[in-house]
Structure 1
Amino acid sequence: MASAAHPTSPAANTWVSVSLTYQGLRALGAPRDSLDSFAWEFQQGMAARAKALGDTGESSPEHWERPLGTGDVHVVLTALSPDPEQLEAALERARETFRDLPGIQALWRQDCHALSTGREPFGFRDGIGYPAVEGSGIPGGNSHEQPFKAGEFVLGYLDETGGYPPMPRPDVLGRNGTYVVFRKLHQRVAAFRQYLKENASSHDEEELLAAKMMGRWRSGAPLALCPFHDDPELGADRHRNNDFVFADDATGYKTPPASHIRRANPRDASVAGVVRLHRMIRRGTAYGPELPEGVLEDDGVERGLMFAFVGAHLGRQFEFVQSEWVNGGDFLGLGDVKDPIAGSHEGTGAYSIPRRPIPKRLRGLPRFVVTRGGEYCFMPGLRALRWLAELRT
């Protein structure tokens, strides 16, 4: 398997990472001084942060898949590979390290995969926007966005404020580490399709409505660059499909201010002075089978996304975006209006699409995305892993 220490490994496209929860660090015997130095959101855990995250009602922790959110999850292994054979080989090597150790038990597993469509379960091209990080040598997808300081995503380096993010003690534990958020998100694909059909008079209008809610056509083509019709070629072009700003669209005639992508990354909006403090590295991969095209009835099968956030600031990155931008609207002058797709609606949600002469108003938005569980984790650097391995409980 590849790692930061062996980037030229023959298995460079297969990765296994290890992250620990706060309870996991306690179980390993991390000193009290070290435990107290972690971000307080991490110390509390995701379940305790449910209200702030919008994990209420059906998404509340009492409905989560066990053992997620219970405190019983101590270590999270994440494996990524281009094919099942390499994946299983990598996982087996990981299993060998703990199979015969006392007090360690595998509690939960979630298999994920890329869908045959190359899209997420609602049908949109995913994984388009990502920030460039200074020193990484990897360019971002938006030429209008300057690379971010490494300290926004990795502890021990300068961040966008010009200082160093708070880091767990001692230095060997915190440096080169980062926080990771894992969330299992069930997607109600049939309900989403039904809502589009009920609020549109034709297939083309359904597609436009879906694009207005997301901020992109399903192909990935952004409304900011092609507001009137889809452009699959643009959507598939990773050099162009994220290269835009919203400066020429303050009212939102092209991309509605409350649309999902404009909330998740307002880019050059009036809040642009603080946008750079809330950018995240986000990744998602699907679980469960695809709902066949055209099916409008729920088949009762679990499907959705495993979501991952990586960053140095749990509070001002993941939690802020989730609470203030996804489940709030004050920052855009929208009051309590929530994200039309990912917001924690309860069947009474509303959404306004700017248009001339009269805006289109959607009502009765249901919850399309339900949280099935999650964990706040800390991903140590290689030196920190060695330090943790030498702890004596």
Structure 2
Amino acid sequence: MRLAFVPFLAVAVALQPAFCTPSSVLKPRTRTNSLLISPAALPALPSAQQAASASADAGLNLTNIQGDILIGMKKNKELFFFFTIINSTLFRSQLGSGILPLITPTSQLLAVDTQPTTAVNLAFSQRGLTTLDITDDLGDTAFANGQIDNVASILGDETSNWESAFAGTSIHGVFLLASDTVDNVNATLSQIQALLNGSITEAYSLQGQARPADQQGHEHFGFMDGISNPAVTGFSTPLPGQQVIDPGLFLLGETGDTVTRPAWAKDGSFLAFRQLQQRVPEFNKFLVDNALSNPNLTADQNAELLGARMMGRWKSGAPVDLTPTVDDPVLAADPQRNNNFNYSHPGFDLDTDQTHCPFSAHLRKTNPRAGLTPENTANHIIRAGIPYGPEVTDAENASNVSSTDPSLERGLAFVAYQSDINAGFAFLQQFWANNAGYGVDPIIGTDGLGQPDVPRSPSGLDPADPTRIITIEQDFVVSRGGEYFFSPSLSAIQNTLAI
């Protein structure tokens, strides 16, 4: 498949004294274990020394960049606390002296002995910045308009499914609080609320957590998540097959960002948040009911094969492009191999071969790799989400239907960072996942018109007969809404947002 391209620290850099004070002075270090998870399949973070060297060469200041942006999908517990500012003067007065010392820069997360008890990041919606009397144009129309604007036609959401907070106008910002225990997260939230002294009120909150035991790093359908994040010049050392992307595609004002921005916005990033409910029992039933018929596999394995071809990876994380008919957990756990593919194979025509990976597979739809010539470097995101909600109950498994009890809802708290939302997250959803060309994405694709459960027929799911049509008549992922935010640098918080 060949697609037409769609146009469409330095660590030593001196910062202001208010926030260059070492965090070890501000609060004692007691950590002996990381607050992050580290499944073998996911690319490892650079060491503090590696990051310092790379960022110095690239001119990045990792002590100025909020930690969540470059870390990716490695959180253990994470609370998304969405808030409304009710006293902007009081809020701004507490930002510099109270909140800023709690904000966690990238450099602080790269070694256990410098990690805080709870990592804190902070981002604002356009309404939030306006409430703070920050009226500069940040150069992103999607951010300025908010996610609710044209969401049905652009993202394909049925907005009646949205949480009311996302559909309204009350969300001014979000605190992202990450740690290894919920108690740590809650204690830090209480500290923040006390510091802000009634200047904000809760608009909505969502608690995320890595799944238990051997499912750590897997989302609720069971697939290892986050392997395909790109490498960022000046931060990470690329692995085989990993695309290397200029930092300006994720950080405003850095190399690769071609938009004119206010000077204070440098090193910030746009955060696209989505609460994506996953209908796990229904997904599992679909796989069983439509299991493939490879004679060398059991019925359960044939159901797993269908799921792997819909996703583009086996549940272990092994890519179907490298191991098309049987899972390979050893390959999956090897970051030197598990992302080293581009859908082309000697002796096979890239434009017609679906025996290795379907054109419509979620992984391929959201990053076509060799399907674009040259390979795409303009529409990447850094994914930093986390699962939310409990494991599937016995009753749900028995009925093959997700519970309507809100406390049992599960899914993905999707987080994507980019310097241009229309070229990042929104582009991937609208022009690739929802595009019927080569089949709508069977996992997150919609008809693009905001209609629920519209039948779709992705191509190539059966490797024995790529022309076979397997119709999907229900949505396995349901958007519960979201918002777009700006994650400012630490210097921006001190010098522009605080008073």
Superposition map of 1:366-385 within 5 A: 366-385=474-493
The match for 2:97 is none
The match for 1:303 is 410
The match for 1:45 is 146
* Shift, 1:13, TM fit: 6.9
> Does structure 1 retain, via aligned residues, the 8 Å contact 2:343–2:356?
no
| Normalised TM-score (structure 1) | 0.87
Residues 89-144 of structure 1: per-residue CA shift (max 9 Å, x gap): 3323322221x244x212211111011122211111112111111111x2244x23
Superposition map of 1:193-204 within 5 A: 193-200=284-291, 202-204=299-301
The match for 2:344 is 247
Superposition map of 1:65-84 within 5 A: 65-84=163-182
* Shift, 1:19, TM fit: 0.3
Residues 293-316 of structure 1: per-residue CA shift (max 9 Å, x gap): 854232333110000000111111
- Which residue identity is paired with 1:290? E
Superposition map of 1:92-107 within 5 A: 92-98=190-196, 100-102=197-199, 104-107=200-203
- Which residue identity is paired with 2:115? A
- Which residue identity is paired with 2:210? A
Q: 1:352 aligns with which of 454, 459, 465?
A: 459
Q: 1:63 aligns with which of 137, 147, 161?
A: 161
- Which residue identity is paired with 2:143? F
> Does structure 1 retain, via aligned residues, the 8 Å contact 2:459–2:467?
yes
Superposition map of 1:117-132 within 5 A: 117-118=215-216, 119-132=218-231
* Shift, 1:71, TM fit: 1.7
- 1:133 and 1:357 map into 2 onto residues whose CA distance is 39
- 1:272 and 1:255 map into 2 onto residues whose CA distance is 18
Q: Does 1:365 align with 2:365?
A: no
Q: Does 1:259 align with 2:395?
A: no
- 2:304 and 2:227 map into 1 onto residues whose CA distance is 19
* Structure 1 gap segments, 5+ residues each: none
CA 110–360 in structure 1, closer or farther in 2 if over 3 Å, else same: same
Superposition map of 1:1-393 within 5 A: 2-4=104-106, 10-12=114-116, 14-31=118-135, 34=136, 36-56=137-157, 59-60=158-159, 62-98=160-196, 100-102=197-199, 104-116=200-212, 117-118=215-216, 119-136=218-235, 138-141=236-239, 143-159=240-256, 164-169=257-262, 171-172=263-264, 174-200=265-291, 202-248=299-345, 250=350, 251-269=353-371, 271-273=372-374, 275-292=376-393, 295=398, 296-300=400-404, 301-330=408-437, 334=438, 337-344=439-446, 346-353=453-460, 355-356=463-464, 359-390=467-498
Aligned length: 369
* Structure 2 gap segments, 5+ residues each: 1-101, 294-298, 448-452
CA 244–12 in structure 1, closer or farther in 2 if over 3 Å, else same: farther
CA 139–77 in structure 1, closer or farther in 2 if over 3 Å, else same: same
* Shift, 1:240, TM fit: 2.1
| Normalised TM-score (structure 2) | 0.70
> Does structure 1 retain, via aligned residues, the 8 Å contact 2:117–2:184?
no
What secondary structure is seen at the aligned counterpart in 2 of 1:107?
strand
CA 176–360 in structure 1, closer or farther in 2 if over 3 Å, else same: same
- Which residue identity is paired with 1:268? A
Alpha-carbon RMSD? 2.2
- 1:188 and 1:195 map into 2 onto residues whose CA distance is 11
* Shift, 1:88, TM fit: 2.5
Name the % identity.
30
Residues 324-378 of structure 1: per-residue CA shift (max 9 Å, x gap): 1110043xxx2xx310011125241112226345633201431111110101000
> Does structure 1 retain, via aligned residues, the 8 Å contact 2:459–2:466?
no
- 2:138 and 2:315 map into 1 onto residues whose CA distance is 43
- 2:374 and 2:167 map into 1 onto residues whose CA distance is 35
- 1:207 and 1:374 map into 2 onto residues whose CA distance is 31
